[in-house]
Amino acid sequence: MILDTTYLLPLARINVDTDLLRAIADRKVSWKLEDVTVSMISIFELQAKAAKLMVPTEFVVDAVKAIFGAFNVESFYKPEIIEVAYKVKRLIPDYVDCVIVATAIVLKEDLATEDSQILSNRGVVKEEYGVSTLSYKELVRK
């Protein structure tokens, strides 16, 4: 499973309504932390969001360490990811999101996201690339 950046924000103590990592820890999701992969670009995106919100740097440093310690981290500069990201750009205007979607496609892993642009194009992504896109509500058992 590829996680979109939103789900990493709680690691930097940025509150989100959809704390998927907490749900994983509480066994409300059918997979484990070691099943999770994140794009390295999500680490940059987390840092940018934290800087915008003036999150203390030590929280961000701890979050980055936790990400590298707990998850598989996939580089965003692999040629195949770049090629697919350019193709996905016709569907999703934000290039960072294109890279995250392309990472899921190249790795043939499902994607967890709350991004409305990605979710609105999930049918095309599934049909063309065979990758499912799921939201927090679809992943978490009550």
CATH number for 53: 3.40.50.1010
Which structural domain, as residue segments, surrounds residue 94?
2-139
Kindly state the average pLDDT of the residues 3-21. 95
Give the CA angle between residues 74, 83, 135 to the nearest 5°. Answer: 55
How do residues 70-84 score in pLDDT, each as one tens digit?
999 999 999 999 999
Look at residue 142 and tell me whether its pLDDT is greater than 80. Answer: no
Tell me: the pLDDT tens digits for 54-109? 999 999 999 999 999 999 999 999 999 999 999 999 999 999 999 999 999 999 99
Name the domain count of the chain: 1
- What is the model's pTM? 0.94
Between CA 91 and CA 48, with CA 88 as vertex, the angle to 5 degrees is 90
> Are the C-beta atoms of 6 and 114 separated by less than 8 Å?
yes
Planar angle of CA 40, 57, 33, nearest 5 degrees: 40
